[in-house]
Amino acid sequence: MNARRMFRSHLSVAAVMTAFLVTDGLMDGYFIPAGSIVPTAEARVGRPLTPRSVAGVARRTTRRVVRRSTIYVATLPPACFRTSINGATVWQCGGTYYQPYGGRYVVIYVN
């Protein structure tokens, strides 16, 4: 791009910005509040088109981490029930989780 085109491009951007600021000034700060480029922080539901707050979404989308151990058992202890964690079927026996693996069960840690 030669110097003349660069000058025209910069001049066009400056003209648009000036027009925006003049229009905002004529409308008594409708777009930009007086004295600040950043408006006051207000929580509004549905703005900016997000259904919930960022913290709430992060909390609800945090997934559990399932790590396998090197402890294997041939049969499950009594009173175990099947549950699902992150779509994987596991067996919970008290506070210990087991996952079927090759005809036996491996102890897994759920964080």
What pLDDT does residue 55 have?
56
Q: Could you tell me the residue range of the domain that residue 100 belongs to? A: 64-111
Q: 3 lies in a domain?
A: no
Average pLDDT value for residue range 36-64: 57
Q: 40 lies in a domain?
A: no
Residue count (the chain) = 111
Domain count, the chain: 1
- pLDDT tens digits, residue range 53-77? 555 555 555 566 788 889 999 999 9
What pLDDT does residue 44 have?
58
Q: 45 lies in a domain?
A: no
Q: 90 lies in a domain?
A: yes
Q: 17 lies in a domain?
A: no
Band of pLDDT at residue 38, cut at 50, 70 and 90: low
- pLDDT tens digits, residue range 13-29? 999 888 877 776 666 66
Q: 52 lies in a domain?
A: no
Q: 83 lies in a domain?
A: yes
Average pLDDT value for residue range 72-97: 90
